[in-house]
A = this chain, B = another copy of it.
């Protein structure tokens, strides 16, 4: 047994949750990056973006399920079981709504509006901050950095809200009800992603308040 393995044998059992949450956040960063880049060069007839989003969504489902399995097996957790539950469910919601956004774009053959890439960029930036917040939450040592990331996520949600509002005003000016129904659905799904990111940021802040 090498030194690495000795350390591993003594590694606290509750580390598994941080490993899983970091892997989840890494995957969300990748997913949102591909989503944003896919929307920049966008072609409703090329369904490879939809296929990628579907694959990411399945990966994230598996990671979420693993958190619940570990919750069932571990008596010791790094923070409240309820908080682990909220965090896992919240991260999964982000993946679900990114996938839903991409699904409806292809299903409706939604005409592109410039706000799609504005929102997907805000989504990606939120995921990057979540990744950073979760890394810094590990060990509860970098409370200030965690807080800063949460503040940024909140501000991205506010900006997304304004982008949605302006997009809706422009959309209704088209006076085309079917177009309005389609684009409005996609815009709203995308804005929900930033709401879900804010929910996760709030969960992280609550964990920080309790343990840091």
Q: Which residues does A use to contact B, with CB under 8 Å?
A: 68-69, 71-73, 82, 103, 107-108, 165, 168-169, 172, 175, 177-178, 180-182, 184, 202, 205-206, 209-210
Contact = CB atoms under 8 A, between A and B. Distances in A.
A209 B108 contact: no
Q: Which interface residue of A73, A184, A209 has the most chain B CB atoms within 10 A?
A: A209
Contacts of A69: 209
Closest 10 CB pairs of A and B: A72-B209, A177-B177, A72-B210, A177-B178, A68-B206, A107-B165, A69-B209, A180-B181, A107-B168, A68-B209
Contact of A182 (B71, B82, B172): B172
Nearest to A207: B72
Contacts of A72: 206, 209-210
9 contacts: A68-B206, A72-B206, A72-B209, A73-B209, A103-B165, A107-B168, A172-B178, A175-B178, A178-B180
Given A68-B206, A107-B169, A108-B172, 5 more contacts: A71-B206, A175-B178, A177-B181, A180-B181, A181-B181
Nearest to A208: B72
Contacts of A184: 181
A204 to B, nearest CB: 12
Contacts of A108: 168, 172
Contacts of A210: 71-72
A71 B82 CA distance: 15
A209 B165 contact: no
A181 to B, nearest CB: 6
